[in-house]
Structure 1
Amino acid sequence: MTQTDDRLRWAPAPGHGDEVLYAVDGPLGRARLHRPRAINALDRASIDSLHQQLSAWAADDAVAAVVLDGAGDRGLCAGGDVRALRTAILEGRPEEAVAYWEAEYAVNALVDSYPKPYVAWMDGIVMGGGVGVSSHGSLGLVTERTQLAMPETGIGFFPDVAGLQLLARSPGETGTHVALTGTPVGGADALVLGMADVLVPSSAKDRVLDALRQDPAQGAGEIAERVGPQEESSWLADHRGWIDECYAGDDPGLVLRRLREHPAPEARAAAETVAARSPHSVGVTLEALRRAASMDVPQVLAQDLVLGRAFARHPDFVEGVRAQLVDKDRQPRWTHASVADVTREEVLEAFGER
């Protein structure tokens, strides 16, 4: 909470629960993801609530801009509620998982095309689905506490919510590194990737809100000048040499070999990370990333839905969620032993092209 938040009238959207709370703060529509014990993970109720209220505010002349944040002090959003999706799939209801993704991607598309300034306070953890409701907006604010990631290859899935549209446009192969490893990056790296717009101190939230109340259309430069930018070095920028060299091309096996053979210890560490991810996920993710380079957000979201249907049927997804989030033994038993064992036909099958 900021100094003024406790004076606002926070309430759910009409007909919805308190998974997301809303308030009108002068000219600002404030949306707060409100599942702090789950680091505000997006369940279906959260997604439906967001779609309804964001759509209503888009047509409300009294709301000049929307500001999104997360309840609690751990972060904006830890991602989608993949444990619930795993349960649905195991119980023979894969269509429920697909319906969830359809609804989630509709919210991502709404954020991308929002007719008013859409500001996301990306403090703390911002992962997976949290990227989808923040990075596609008009202004993303990260802090020294930000830990941003698309960690899906570690649960047998792929970076969805049109995150690949952003990562495909990141400098050099920095987006490829983030997509394949799923490793969290800091606020300065989020700027390099194009997944956020300005780095500010986490203590500056009140000042940011004050600035937006005065001028809801303020951009990154104006915000930075008003609150003072946070200085932080970018790990990705510092390591562009081996990243660009190793991750080039379309062959995940070759990428892994280059990483393993590179003299930079950070490259060899990345190799171990990629090798531990689902080989199927790594192969499909690299292909999807390359295709996303020529797509806009709606096109990537359409691709994501095709892939989601395929991953709902693939055993690596339920196994990856089990190992990472259910049993938490961190010992997934993937379908393939290595990326070299994933055939081109299997990759194309995920895109419905076989």
Structure 2
Amino acid sequence: MSAVQVKQVVEGVHLGEGPHWVQDQQCLLFVDITKSNVHRYFLQTKRHQVLHIDSGSSESTVSLIIPIEGEPDLFLTSLDRSLAVVKWSTTDPDQHTVKPKAILHTVDDHYPTNRFNDGKCDPQGRLWAGTMGKETAPGQLDMYQGSLFCIDADLNITNRVNKISIANGLAWSLDRKTFYYIDSLAHSIDAFDYDDATSKIENRRTVFDYKASGLAKDLPDGMCIDETGNLWVANFFGKKVMCVDPKVGKIIRKVELPTQNITSVCWGGADYSTLFVTSAQTGLSAEALASDPAAGGTFAITGLGVRGLPPTNFKVNLNLLKEKIAS
């Protein structure tokens, strides 16, 4: 096994999140939530593009970015508590601004200050995305205001879980029978029985308890799964990524990062053996930032000796989507 190496590939953003690897372009997508920016970093050329999404509000947030299957320039993203479609121009410079092409759904009308947080597509290409209340500081917010939604190919939206505090990491088992999920303030990784055909979930249980494992100061954040079925979890406040075997609820290994607020992870690279990691500056004082220059950086971890799985794009009825865009 090669030695594990951690390399910073993108300089700090304010609140990095939502990494997604695009294999045919060999590039990494991720967002800066509080700046409403989408970043696209090409691993081989080191070209770095920034797409600012203008929703009409200076306080808008963008927390996820997922390619739309069959439309290489269209992406599904979030705008506060809405889900939207944006188009990445092929002719504009590396830094430009776009407005959403269409708003697909707006949720949580009873909590107008909520926003979407983490989101990912399941093996069938349905989007799962969860919401949370407005934070006053990292991890400090009104509890149980969020929900987890599932959006299918015909743009039907279903509320799957309620009373979530900070909707976060998502992963599906290799046999497509288990859905793993994180509500950060529950301090655990939970599992549901998952029906791949219908997207129904049930029988929620905890497979890894942070407090019982001596990690009460860490918050579990973004998550992905590797080819062996183990989970890789970003630890906010914890300065590390952790590999957990969900079958026995044990930590397999830890990889330390050069900054403390680790937000999310995804597999990528030509053979999916690189683990990309996002982080955040949010909540850090000027003094803390001065002593933590890597804060908000995006990192590539190599030499782990294991690979991940390709991500799934959003698989939507394109005729229906085009009608939405045209309306």
TM-score scaled by length of structure 2: 0.29
Q: Which has the higher contact order (CA 8 A, sep 6+)?
A: 2
Identify, as 1 or 2, the structure richer in strand.
Answer: 2
Identify, as 1 or 2, the structure richer in helix.
Answer: 1
Which is greater in Rg?
A: 1
TM-score scaled by length of structure 1: 0.27
